[in-house]
Amino acid sequence: MQRELSIILENKPGALVRVVGLFHQRGYNIESLHVDPVTDLTKFRYIEERLDLKLEENEVSHLLIKTTVSDNLLRQILRQINKLIDVLLAEENLDT
Amino acid sequence: MKIAGNDILIQSLIKEEVEYIFGYPGGAALHIYDAIFNQNQIQHILVRHEQGATHAADGYARATGKPGVVLVTSGPGATNAITGIATAFMDSIPMIIISGQVAKHLIGTDAFQETDMIGISRPIVKHSFSVESAEDIPEIVKQAFYIATSGRPGPVVIDVPKDTTSPDELFDFVYPDSAHIRSYNPPISPEKKQIERAVEAMLKARQPVIYAGGGAINSNASSELIKLNDILDFPVTNTLMGLGVYPATHKRFLGMLGMHGTYQANMAMHNADLIIAIGARFDDRITNTPKLFAPNAKIIHFDVDQSSVSKIIEANIAVFGQVKDSLQEILNELESRRNEIDEKKLDDWKQQIKYWKEKHGLDHKMHLSESNEHPIMPQAVVQHVYNITNGDAFITSDVGQHQMFAAQYYHFDEPRKWINSGGLGTMGFGLPAALGVKLAFRDSEVVCITGEGSIQMCIQELSTCTQYNLPIKIININNEALGMVKQWQDMNYSGRHSESTYQSSLPNFVELVESYGHVGIKIEKNSDLKKGLEEAFAIKDKLVFVDVYVDPDEHVYPMLVAPNGSLKDMWLSKDNKV
């Protein structure tokens, strides 16, 4: 089924392409992709708590990726993305 | 004190206690090379090709556990390093690759020797950095070493535009004490609950196998594994990458498993009710067809990398964390429940394994006769090398039949003694890796077991060995063909040897190595084998290249039946399939 992944990553050169590249390397397909620098931090305060850090405006980007995968593959993709050094957090977006 | 970017880079490496840089100079790296010239704490090893630099640094890293450091120039220097970076990446080896880059204002203009090294290397590095300013170098180097060596280790590229190492601009040099990367927190301690569940499963098992791989070596978990199994007394198998992490001469050792694993190791895995995977990743050379893999086994998987767990084979109990720490936790838990261990419970299983081993185990006395009625067997070459070196040498290998014979017939009792490219399977790895090992262990015997195909892929490094006086031994198991390719062609393509032989074009290896100042010994007869090898190992101050002509028709067995086979489906010889 189609899922949406929500990924918070450092807003710096080369970070986005590591995530996008990983999809191709591991044989997954991206169906839709949206990325923005995070200017309104109110939605992301939970990340600060979870990772015990303080975010500043425009310091990180929020990436939304839609892809069609099974449960097992989703877990594998998320683990691979979370392994990337510039990624703070990758999880399934269950709000959609 | 203010210093320039090139000196900042080298001083940073000195702070990281780097002993050797393996490299090759060129335009974009010249400022850095000038900084190397002006110091004497780090020795630079000038290789003959950048691929050699990466494999040498890799060999150094595998043998010592410390990161290997590579320095190359931009463009072709960088692209030549790629194979070695991918080799290190696949086997999770810590390595720092510093690549020169054209000056920042030229990036993107197709300048001379410009290539997008960050882009080209991205899929085969753990991480990479592009230097923006000389001031950033200390922080980047600190972070690069931290990333390369922590968690699941791997190669890290630092791309350095020439202007950031310019001698004309000076900066304060302050090296950070520690690295902190907020988005990277690798050391996770194992969950108590998972430890308890794992111990419970171990106590219940009647047909258990411990399956340990390269991750156990990377984590330096050998002593914990041995201690753990002193209590459990389970059969143990190692992957190609894990050889040495459990002593090969231990009575519970089954030998290597997988594609060319022993009969008893593969049978034990297939029939197990519990598989304890320690720093191993269920690679396709291990599982054969995943759907048919160990149908009755519960899996406990210890790994530092979450993405390796349940990737191929679903784990029932996952224990995340450095396997060294996890095994120590298991030991503690097991100690407290020692009274629950029923030693008799494993008796039938041990009998069964003994039966498998006696029935179809590798014959370690095979073909050791000195009769000239049959050709030299490649297995005999490895066995003689094992006996002559008392099983104590560092063995590097290339890729192919000789690699499998070395893995099967040299018994590694310690970790980090067996140095080979398991994941990527890189021909050309063996000689430069041996060079790197020898620099780290000058007083130890370092042997490269290779074949006439592989050795020619990085043979230029014979010259490097001359320059730095590195008296390694090279055992060239010469079957005058790309043996493993030919074996597959024999088995799967009705013996059509498409492009796997050289039609008398091989060089005279003895004359070739002698032209570099080394010693060459050619062995063609069984009656000369032992004597010739003993003669080679008696020479201590020179590189000796032994060119041994072996039976060109020999195959590596056992061999898993593929595709669609399980671990119990093996060829045991050319005409015996079980």
pLDDT by residue (tens digit) across A65-84? 999 998 888 999 999 999 99
Find the helix packing angle between B263-271 and B347-360, rounded to 10°. 140
The question of whether B162 is a catalytic residue gets the answer yes
B323 shares its domain with B382: no
Asked if B126 and A85 come within 8 Å (Cβ–Cβ), the reply is: yes
Q: φ, ψ for residue B127 (rounded to 5)?
A: -165, 165
Residue B366 pLDDT: 66
Nearest C-alpha neighbor of A88 from the set A2, A22, A12: A12
- Domain, as residue range, for B73: 2-172
Residue B550 pLDDT: 97
Nearest C-alpha neighbor of B262 from the set B270, B387, B421, B376: B270
Mean pLDDT of the B13-42 span: 98
- Which of the following is catalytic: B11, B22, B50, B480? B50
Mean pLDDT of the B20-28 span: 98
Residue A96 pLDDT: 58
| pLDDT at residue B368 greater than cutoff 80 | no
B133 shares its domain with B46: yes
pLDDT tier at B236, thresholds 50, 70, 90: very high
The question of whether B570 is a catalytic residue gets the answer no
Mean pLDDT of the B439-462 span: 98
3 state DSSP class of B384: helix
Mean pLDDT of the B467-485 span: 98
Q: Which residue of B has its CA nearest to A90?
A: B183
Give the residue from A83, A87, A91 with the most B CB atoms within 10 Å of its CB, the best one to mutate.
A83
Q: Which residue of A has its CA nearest to B121?
A: A18
- Which of the following is catalytic: B19, B66, B113, B311? B113
Q: Is residue B177 part of a domain?
A: no
Give the residue from B107, B307, B309 with the most A CB atoms within 10 Å of its CB, the best one to mutate.
B307
Q: Token match 């030549």: residue?
A: B80
CB-nearest partner of A85 from B184, B306, B310 = B184
B469 shares its domain with B527: yes
**Alpha carbon of B496: minimum distance to chain A alpha carbons (Å):** 33
The question of whether B340 is a catalytic residue gets the answer no
Give the residue from B180, B183, B291 with the most A CB atoms within 10 Å of its CB, the best one to mutate.
B183
Region of residue B520 (left: phi > 0; alpha: psi -120 to 50; beta: else): beta
Q: Is residue B366 part of a domain?
A: no
Between CA B206 and CA B107 the distance in angstroms is 63
pLDDT single digits (tens) B399-437: 999 999 999 999 999 999 999 999 999 999 999 999 999
A-chain residues near B184 (CB < 8 A): 85
Q: Which residue of A has its CA nearest to B305?
A: A83
Rank B181-185, B186-190, B238-242, B360-364 by mean pLDDT and report only the highest.
B238-242
**How distant, in Å, are the alpha carbons of A9, A65, B130 from that of A13?**
11, 19, 9
A-chain residues near B128 (CB < 8 A): 14
- Please name the residues in contact with B535: beta carbons below 8 A apart, sequence gap of 6 or more: B521
Residue A43 pLDDT: 85
pTM of the model: 0.97
Give the residue from A50, A53, A85 with the most B CB atoms within 10 Å of its CB, the best one to mutate.
A85
Q: Is residue B231 part of a domain?
A: yes
Joined together, the tokens standing for residue A43 give 């939605």
B108 shares its domain with B219: no
Asked if A18 and B122 come within 8 Å (Cβ–Cβ), the reply is: yes
B471 shares its domain with B343: no
B139 shares its domain with B47: yes
| pLDDT at residue B364 greater than cutoff 80 | no
Mean pLDDT of the A51-64 span: 92
Amino acid identity for residue B377 in this structure: M
Would you give the distance in Å from CA B176 to the centre of its chain? 31
CA dihedral A41, A42, A46, A48 (to 10 degrees): 40
B165 shares its domain with B18: yes
Q: Is residue B184 part of a domain?
A: no
B-chain residues near A38 (CB < 8 A): none
Q: φ, ψ for residue B167 (rounded to 5)?
A: -75, -5
Of the listed ranges A20-29, B130-139, B213-222, the least confidently predicted one is A20-29
B-chain residues near A53 (CB < 8 A): 182
B342 shares its domain with B388: no
- Please name the residues in contact with B387: beta carbons below 8 A apart, sequence gap of 6 or more: none
Burial B173-193 (b: 16+ CB within 10 A, else e): beeeeebebebbebeeebeee
Residues of A with CB under 8 A from a CB of B: 9-10, 13-14, 17-18, 21, 25, 51, 53, 72, 75-76, 79-80, 82-83, 85-88
pLDDT averaged over chain B? 97
Amino acid identity for residue A55 in this structure: L
- Which of the following is catalytic: B126, B142, B162, B530? B162
| pLDDT at residue B128 greater than cutoff 70 | yes
Of the listed ranges A86-90, B273-277, B366-370, B562-566, the least confidently predicted one is B366-370
Among candidate residues B328, B360, B392, the one where a domain is terminated: B360
CA-angle at B9, arms to B7 and B11, nearest 5°: 65
B391 shares its domain with B478: yes
**Alpha carbon of A74: minimum distance to chain B alpha carbons (Å):** 11
Please give the domain boundaries of chain A with CATH numbers for all domains.
2-92 (3.30.70.260)
Q: φ, ψ for residue B561 (rounded to 5)?
A: -80, 125
Between CA B115 and CA A10 the distance in angstroms is 25
- Which of the following is catalytic: B112, B511, B525, B577? B112
Region of residue B490 (left: phi > 0; alpha: psi -120 to 50; beta: else): alpha
Asked if B307 and A79 come within 8 Å (Cβ–Cβ), the reply is: yes
B244 shares its domain with B332: yes
Q: Is residue B112 within 8 Å of residue B152, measured between CB atoms?
A: no
Joined together, the tokens standing for residue B10 give 């080298």
Joined together, the tokens standing for residue B437 give 């090992």
Residue A52 pLDDT: 87
The interface predicted TM-score (ipTM) is: 0.95
B510 shares its domain with B409: yes
pLDDT single digits (tens) A34-52: 999 999 988 888 888 888 8
Residues of B with CB under 8 A from a CB of A: 118-119, 122-123, 126-128, 130, 147, 181-184, 305-307, 310-311, 314
Count the helices and strands in chain B (H runs, E runs): 21, 23
The question of whether B414 is a catalytic residue gets the answer no
Total domains present in chain B: 3
Give the CATH number for residue B348: 3.40.50.1220
B409 shares its domain with B261: no
Maximum CA extent, chain A: 35
Q: Is residue B416 part of a domain?
A: yes
Q: Is residue B217 part of a domain?
A: yes
Share of chain B above pLDDT 90, in %: 96
Helices (H), B134-232: 137-149, 192-204, 214-218, 222-232
- Residues facing residue B101 across a β-bridge: B161
The question of whether B314 is a catalytic residue gets the answer no
B-chain residues near A73 (CB < 8 A): none
- The arrangement of strands across the sheet holding B208-212 comes to B253-256, B236-238, B208-212, B274-278, B298-303, B317-320
Q: Is residue B445 part of a domain?
A: yes
Q: What share of chain A is helix, strand, coil (3-state, %, to 5)?
A: 35, 30, 30
Q: Is residue B283 part of a domain?
A: yes
Between CA B424 and CA B88 the distance in angstroms is 8
Size of interface A-B (CB pairs under 8 A): 37
Residue A95 pLDDT: 77
pLDDT single digits (tens) B31-57: 999 999 999 999 999 999 999 999 999
Would you give the distance in Å from CA B327 to the centre of its chain? 22
State the pairing for strand pair B43-46/B236-238.
unpaired
Give the CATH number for residue B38: 3.40.50.970
